[in-house]
Amino acid sequence: MADAKPALQRDLVTRGLAAREARWLVDEFYLGADPDAFVALEGAVARRLSGEPLQYVIGHWPFRGLDLDVDPRVLIPRPETEELVTHALGELAALDVTTPLVVDLGCGSGAIGLALLDELAARGVRATVVAVDESTDALAVAKRNALKHGLHQISFVHSSWFDDLDPSLRGRVDLVVANPPYVGAREFTGLDEVLRYEPYGALVAADADGVEGFADVARVIRDSVAWLAERAVVVVEHGEGHGDAARSVAHAAGFAHVRDEKDLAGKDRVLVARR
């Protein structure tokens, strides 16, 4: 019944789906002529047509080399965050430690920490990741993704940022990576409604230092210093308007080398600070 697929796709396009999405949904849910496949496809189409993000409807999404399970308990990993992983890998290579200890703060689906583990292993580097989130729901998804990809050098900690981390890690971490919430509450009300499907606490942060949505970015940068080893690095994704404030927080916190990396649109988006 493979021939049924083009007709199903055309039908979905006439019902309002983009051609690419129609193809993805048919490929994902239409597994044969059995009635259950139609029911599953119809359910998925109804969810997508009601506005739910395609990633949640499909239930998994690629992030760098990994196919990650995603559902409404976690943020959908973004392409900008794939860039953050590139910068983090570059910093670790420059640090040249054989068994790096990495803390992934606000791990969500596990995207950053798991991609780092996966790609470092491919380079022969045996890293250990401590993945932290204040959402137990997010931690459950991240654990499932670690199992799915057979990535075992990772532990999971339920904590608000560094608050409940094992104190023996202080001064020993080689890399802190984070993509904290960084949208201001006021800004959030003006953004695309599709963001309402994602966890509010994954997106929205309080204002700080007179900057909208900056509180968590500032906290992660400031608090990292005490946990990092000599010459170790924090790599933090931040909002488009946060570059100046993030660099000045990093300088004030005592980091020796501070820079911002730009996204593809040329905007400062990732703070890199080395002790």
Ligand X SMILES: C[S@@+](CC[C@H](N)C(=O)[O-])C[C@H]1O[C@@H](n2cnc3c(N)ncnc32)[C@H](O)[C@@H]1O
If one asks whether residue 55 binds ligand X (CB under 6 A), the answer comes out as no
Q: Which residue has the tokens 């890399």?
A: 175
Q: With contact defined as beta carbons under 8 Å apart, do 151 and 118 qualify? A: yes
DSSP strands (E only) in 84-240: 101-105, 128-133, 154-158, 173-178, 228-237
Segment near ligand X (CB under 6 A), from 25-33, 37-45, 175-183, 239-247?
175-183
If one asks whether residue 181 binds ligand X (CB under 6 A), the answer comes out as yes
- CA dist 184 and 105 (Å) reads 19
- CA dist 52 and 46 (Å) reads 9
CB of 45 vs ligand X, minimal distance in Å: 26
Q: With contact defined as beta carbons under 8 Å apart, do 197 and 53 qualify? A: yes
CB of 254 vs ligand X, minimal distance in Å: 22
Encoding tokens for residue 122?
Answer: 């491919």
CB nearer ligand X, residue 36 or residue 166: 166
CB of 202 vs ligand X, minimal distance in Å: 4
If one asks whether residue 201 binds ligand X (CB under 6 A), the answer comes out as yes
If one asks whether residue 141 binds ligand X (CB under 6 A), the answer comes out as no
CB nearer ligand X, residue 130 or residue 138: 138
Q: Could you give the string, one character per residue 17-36, with x where binding to ligand X holds by CB under 6 A and - elsewhere? A: --------------------
Q: With contact defined as beta carbons under 8 Å apart, do 246 and 264 qualify? A: no
Sign, CA dihedral 140-144-145-146, equals positive
Q: With contact defined as beta carbons under 8 Å apart, do 100 and 123 qualify? A: no
CB nearer ligand X, residue 45 or residue 138: 138
If one asks whether residue 80 binds ligand X (CB under 6 A), the answer comes out as no
CB nearer ligand X, residue 17 or residue 180: 180
- CA dist 204 and 4 (Å) reads 44
Residues 6+ apart with CB under 8 A from 219: 161, 180, 208
If one asks whether residue 161 binds ligand X (CB under 6 A), the answer comes out as yes
If one asks whether residue 224 binds ligand X (CB under 6 A), the answer comes out as no
If one asks whether residue 106 binds ligand X (CB under 6 A), the answer comes out as yes
Q: With contact defined as beta carbons under 8 Å apart, do 236 and 246 qualify? A: yes
- CA dist 92 and 90 (Å) reads 5
Encoding tokens for residue 81?
Answer: 């965050």
**72, 144, 158: which is closest to 111 by C-alpha?**
144
Among 25, 107, 165, 221, binds ligand X (CB under 6 A): 107
If one asks whether residue 213 binds ligand X (CB under 6 A), the answer comes out as no
Among 21, 91, 118, 133, binds ligand X (CB under 6 A): 133
CB of 197 vs ligand X, minimal distance in Å: 14
Q: What is the maximum alpha-carbon separation in the chain?
A: 65
- Say how many residues touch ligand X, by CB under 6 A: 22
If one asks whether residue 145 binds ligand X (CB under 6 A), the answer comes out as no
Segment near ligand X (CB under 6 A), from 29-37, 46-54, 75-83, 248-256?
75-83
Enumerate binding residues for ligand X (CB under 6 A).
75, 77, 81, 106-109, 111-112, 132-135, 138, 160-161, 179-181, 201-202, 216
